[in-house]
Amino acid sequence: MMSSMLPHASSIFWKRRPVHLTFFLTRKCNAHCPFCFYLQSTDNPQTRTPELSIDEIERISRSMGKLLWLAFSGGEVYLRKDLVEISKLFYHQNSPAVMLYPSNGLLPELIRDQTQRIASHCCNSVVVVKLSLDGVGIDHDELRNTHGNFDKTMRTYALLKDLLDVYPNFELGFNTVLTAQNQHKADQIIDFVGSLDRRVTHTISMVRGNLLDNGYKQVDPDIYLRAADMLAARLRKRTTGIHHFNGARLKAAQDVLQRRFIHQTLIGQDRSLPCYAGKLNLVLTESGEVYPCEILTQSLGNVRDYDYDIMRVSRTDKAGDMLRSIATSNPHCRTCTHECNYITNILFNPAMYPAMITEYLRL
């Protein structure tokens, strides 16, 4: 990770261009998770527009420079039929150090085939697949309202783990969305991942979006802290997988710090880190809307209105006003627990380096 950051070293001091892009490839999904913040926020048929075509995506990619982190999202990313072609496009034009593919695991053979093609071609990028795992057995299916999801996810894991021995740039892991409904079984989920025959990474994410009415966000901060401490302890003991790419310990140290800051927010402390959303991070939707982050609902603009130049969208007067509100007054930002933004908020903040080095040495 440290060597991967070298081309972006100037961004530690000057936050002038994005190094992290989250691209929502599609809103199509074959799961029915009731807590999905994205499908709820885009579920108005009257406002839907066609997905960006491969030609449009090529122009958007060309308007950007090199990327440290490219996170695809959705919807289910593997439902995008041109996923491999899109991946190759960004690989050649933006040289992302890390390419992330979150998945619900419902299409085992397709996921393995597409991932193998991507890892084989994009050999100088770390290709990371994160399978969603929010419970063990029937608990996972019930929480996601999707019959047979757990078995298919484990089938996908079984197919993907064989790629670990073939492609040194391939990483496999699980991510657990922590909600009020599964928080009391967080220990069980962490133990289950730790018991698998291959050491894979495991992360937890706080449920996102405006879900207060149905109670999904009512997570006990003490339970979150216990889960975070369990993951940190397993990293130190190597009973949970640690990334094997260059600088993996540094990324793991950042994960530990990230969860500590999120816990502080959960217990009522306002965000204590400056946020680089809209500066180092940008979010692109399948319809071309650009946002500073996944949580804020006001678009900076649509790339289709700016000749597919995403940098022009991010440098308008409207964008400048939004970025100033993120830095000062936006109430959503003061209580943010959004993990993706913490990556750059920690890695590109020199004030965090002493704490990160401490955690690095503990690992």
Q: Is the pLDDT of residue 320 over 80?
A: yes
Provide the 3-class DSSP secondary structure of residue 221: helix
Strands 289-291 and 98-103, by their bridges, are unpaired
Percent of the chain with pLDDT over 70: 90
Q: Reduce the DSSP state of residue 89 to 3 states and report it.
A: helix
Least Cα distance to 296 among 264, 263, 259, 341 occurs for 341
pLDDT at 18 over 80: yes
Helix (H, G, I), strand (E, B) or coil at 143: helix
User: Which of 21-25, 111-115, 269-273 is predicted with the least confidence, judged by mean pLDDT?
Assistant: 269-273
Average pLDDT over residues 320-325: 87
Please tell me the predicted confidence (pLDDT) of residue 210.
62
Distance CA 209, CA 201 (A): 25
CA atoms within 13 A on the CB side of 233: 10
**Count of alpha carbons within 13 angstroms of residue 66, beta-carbon side:** 12
Query: CA nearest 131: which of 167, 151, 101?
Result: 101
* pLDDT given at position 28: 94
Query: Which residues, at least 6 apart from 214, have a Cβ–Cβ distance to it below 8 Å?
Result: 34, 35
pLDDT digits 0-9 by tens, 87-98: 999 999 999 999
Topology classification of domain 2-362: TIM Barrel (3.20.20)
* Domain boundaries along the sequence of the chain: 2-362
Helix (H) or strand (E) holding 173: strand 170-178
Residue 128, helix vs strand vs coil: strand
pLDDT tens, 217-269? 899 999 999 999 999 998 887 655 565 566 678 888 899 999 999 999 889 88
The per-residue pLDDT for 97 is 94
| pLDDT of the residue at 49 | 83
Q: CA-CA distance, 261 to 246, in Å (whole number)? A: 25
Q: Rounded CA gap, 39 and 189, in Å?
A: 25
pLDDT (mean) for 149-178? 97
Place of tokens 């999707």: 146
Q: Can you give the pLDDT at residue 246?
A: 64
Provide mean pLDDT across the span 180-188.
Answer: 97
Express each pLDDT in 42-85 by its tens digit: 544 445 689 999 999 999 999 999 999 999 999 999 999 999 99
Instruction: Indicate whether 161 pLDDT > 80.
Output: yes
Average pLDDT of 114-138?
A: 97
Tokens of 125: 């990028």
Give 272's pLDDT tier (boundaries 50, 70, 90).
Answer: confident
Structure confidence at residue 211 (pLDDT): 47
